Chains A and B, each alone.
Chain A
């Protein structure tokens, strides 16, 4: 059941501006009691951030205002692939690791991008095929997605939300070079 709002539970950390608090309050009001409320709240909070992530302050405030236990919010925020707890790069390059893309060589593209962006996975990064890595200068985030559902265009890469089909290493290199030169 959707948790009830506990009136005594004031926000503990005042890191959010009034505007931000107001944003969350209105968001909660528009979804209150609906199925899928927490997912929708988190999706909209993340979408509002320029660096597409869920800042801890927001989650604290959200917990306090909705009465949803912090542990549950954290559990949800770390369970779903869409949510980020760390800021993402200015540009996101997302390589599809779906079956069709895999059979058409998306792993080579992934390796090529790691090389291009100078990203070296840490030892405890788990498997090299499932990742989200951001360059230290926060210009680029490289990540993978299970499948874009664009299998007929395999291999598929999404660069800043634009889908590119039938990508080869050279085309991808050019794309990244262009972003680099494009500034910001």
Chain B
């Protein structure tokens, strides 16, 4: 079963392993597809929608992170439509919470910020929400500032899938979604 197959990404023929995702395959061959929720070693959730690509013969956009490669697949990762939608996606994230890059501890080492730069987002067309969101400073070593949270759930998955601790989850729904520690405890009071 480990026969190599090949796919085309933006016209270029690329060898692939059956069962691998489009995103892994592309990244392994130096092809850039933007993504914020994907992280190597974790399950894929298809939440950020930035890795959507066009696949020939499929009339809707598919997330590269959860779409397995198939022999002969022809994939477009860059098109006007995809560029437009990716910019909108990033702008929506910036508008959702309070990302004040200038005073952020992650300034200059932040995936959201660098992706915005790379994709040419220089302003946000949607009105900012300016929500009031919690900041948990109880833990001795860490702080949780949900002003900057984009709900990528990488932390939730690391904690569950790598550590096996299951401390974190996402509570509520919609724009009210917030990261929650156990039964809504202060981080300092958690079991870990």
Contact = CB atoms under 8 A, between A and B. Distances in A.
A70 B167 CA distance: 7
B172 A56 contact: no
Contact of A79 (B172, B181, B183): B172
A74 B180 contact: yes
A63 B180 CA distance: 15
Contact of A75 (B132, B171, B176, B185): B171
B166 A74 contact: no
A78 interface: yes
A63 B168 CA distance: 14
A162 B170 CA distance: 35
A176 interface: no
Majority DSSP secondary structure for residues of A touching B? helix
A56 B171 contact: no
B9 interface: no
Interface range on chain A (Cβ under 8 Å from partner): 10 to 19
Contacts of A75: 169-171, 180
Interface string A41-80: 0000000000000001001100100000111111100110
A53 to B, nearest CB: 14
Contacts of A73: 183
Interface string A3-47: 000000000000000000000000000000000000000000000
Contacts of A71: 166-169, 180-183
Interface in A102-130: 124, 126
B173 interface: yes
A127 to B, nearest CB: 10
A124 B132 contact: yes
Given A74-B182, A74-B184, A69 B132 contact: no
25 contacts: A56-B183, A59-B183, A63-B183, A69-B166, A69-B167, A69-B182, A70-B182, A70-B183, A70-B185, A71-B167, A71-B168, A71-B169, A71-B180, A71-B182, A71-B183, A72-B166, A74-B169, A74-B180, A74-B183, A74-B184, A75-B169, A75-B170, A78-B171, A79-B173, A124-B132
Given A72-B166, A79-B172, 6 more contacts: A60-B183, A70-B182, A71-B182, A74-B183, A75-B170, A79-B173
